[in-house]
Amino acid sequence: MNRHKPSDQPSDTSAIRNYPRLFHRYARLLEVVTGLASTFDLEILLQRTVDAAQELTDSEATSLLLYDPKAHQLYFEAASNLNPGGLGHQAVPAENSIAGWVFTRREPLLVQDALSDPRFFREVDILTSFQTRSVLGVPMYTKDKTLGVIEAVNKREGAFDDEDLRLLEALAAQASVAIENTRLFQQSDVVAEMVHELRSPLTALTAAAYLLQRPGLPDDQRLKLAKSVHDEAQRLNGMTTDFLELARLESGRTRLTRELVELSGLVFETLEVVRPVLEAEQLTLATDIDRGLPPLQGDRNRLKQLLLNLLTNAIKYNQRGGRVEIRLRRQADQAVLEVGDTGRGIPHDSLPHVFERFFRVPDQEARVAGTGLGLAIAKRIAESHRGQIEVASEVGHGTTFTVRLPLAAPPIETRPAR
């Protein structure tokens, strides 16, 4: 009779004892994978992936990095249990980093002692005040391209093993397909909406161009048609510019500059840009700005664009001789910005739709020119800074938009690389 060697017995016993736990982990993986296919919101999808990775590997933190072919760098797009204010969309070089090694070679990598590995990119630990001990990284790829990397950091108990690796690889494979499907869906969805919206100005241009060719057209009619062509061309130009900007923001491929921004100074700078229009419309400006507000970490140009979009809206939808109000204050660890007007207000049934692409309040479409993309862009900018935007309105009394943005974390004392 064949007998197992004594040295083999512990591993067999261990396998039997761990079977229920292993079964549970794979059952959970199947449940997670099903959930990934249920959303076409890229931000939600990425966050679900890192949360699942942390649970499945029983790690202290996980992160997901996507590759930007234009910048030739990997960027953190989602993370669990890390300081988001410090991490943001931090770039990681495709060379001289553990994530870069995994991405470039399209192979998994387990590093039990990260600090002694020359590939370890220390800047992330410095920015997040996190201490990395071990890293398990797996590539994310589809048939024709590599998308990025998922990393699990610091096993809670013991060390990462082959089972952790297999689970993370299975998750990465399914997440890669879900990410590509989401990108394709968003592109087709946005393009379809854009084509639909382009039809109106193109129809107007076609009609005007046809009429301008008619002989004997009175000069006053010719001038009126020429103005119509100019206005519709301007509308098309604004629409395509806004559309491209929104498409970049929604695809997740727009790289935000991360710097300390004094929001109070940026508000006054932006007010100077719109002041001539305020005066032309005979609008009164009321401000209540906390000049002692701490800075926040973000992209200065994008935040200025958010401010301009809200102020432009407050001007366009106001009444002549009305008032524009802008307030900036601190609330706990957030900066709260409010931009209000004394215009006609937004009907209750339209409020849930104001941040949708191309949405314009029905009874104000003819009165106010616009692309219907300004608020959708403002919302994306706020969300890309881990903030949020809300609207409150009362018909006949005006509208107020409120933006909440996280203030920068206190400076982190950097430590020398070891």
Residues contacting 336, CB < 8 A, separation 6+: 327, 328, 329, 330, 402, 403, 404
DSSP letter, residue 352: G
In whole angstroms, give the CA distance from residue 293 to residue 263.
8
| Residues 280-289 pLDDT 10s | 889 999 999 9
Domains of the chain by residue range: 22-183, 256-413
Checking if the pLDDT of 412 tops 60, the result is no
| Residues 268-311 pLDDT 10s | 999 999 998 899 889 999 999 999 999 998 889 889 999 999 99
In whole angstroms, give the CA distance from residue 230 to residue 343.
28
State the fold for domain 22-183.
Beta-Lactamase (3.30.450)
Cβ neighbour number for residue 20 with a 10 Å cutoff: 9
The residue assigned the tokens 């241009």 is 205
pLDDT-wise least confident of 214-218, 232-236, 345-349, 372-376: 232-236
Name the residue with higher pLDDT: 371 or 84: 371
Cβ neighbour number for residue 307 with a 10 Å cutoff: 24
- pLDDT for res 9: 42
List, in sequence order, every residue forming a beta bridge with 166; answer none if it has no partner.
none
DSSP letter, residue 380: H
Superfamily for domain range 256-413: Histidine kinase-like ATPase, C-terminal domain (3.30.565.10)
Check: CB of residue 55 under 8 Å from CB of residue 35: no
pLDDT over 90, % of the chain: 37
Please report which confidence band the pLDDT of residue 110 belongs to, taking 50, 70 and 90 as the band edges: very high
In whole angstroms, give the CA distance from residue 337 to residue 386.
14
In whole angstroms, give the CA distance from residue 142 to residue 170.
13
| Residues 168-216 pLDDT 10s | 999 999 999 889 888 877 666 666 666 666 776 777 788 788 788 888 8
Q: Nearest 5°: phi and psi at 412? A: -100, 130
Q: Chain-wide mean pLDDT for the chain?
A: 82
As a dihedral over the C-alpha atoms of residue 32, residue 35, residue 37, residue 39, rounded to 10 degrees, the angle is -140
Check: CB of residue 246 under 8 Å from CB of residue 376: yes
Check: CB of residue 46 under 8 Å from CB of residue 61: no
Structure tokens at 245: 């900007």
DSSP letter, residue 364: G
DSSP 114-180: GGG-TT--THHHHHHT-----EEEEEEE-SS-EEEEEEEEEESSS---HHHHHHHHHHHHHHHHHHH
In whole angstroms, give the CA distance from residue 388 to residue 136.
33
Check: CB of residue 26 under 8 Å from CB of residue 47: no
Taking the complete model, does pTM exceed 0.85, yes or no? no
pLDDT-wise least confident of 17-26, 50-59, 60-69, 393-402: 17-26
- Entry field: residues in the chain: 418
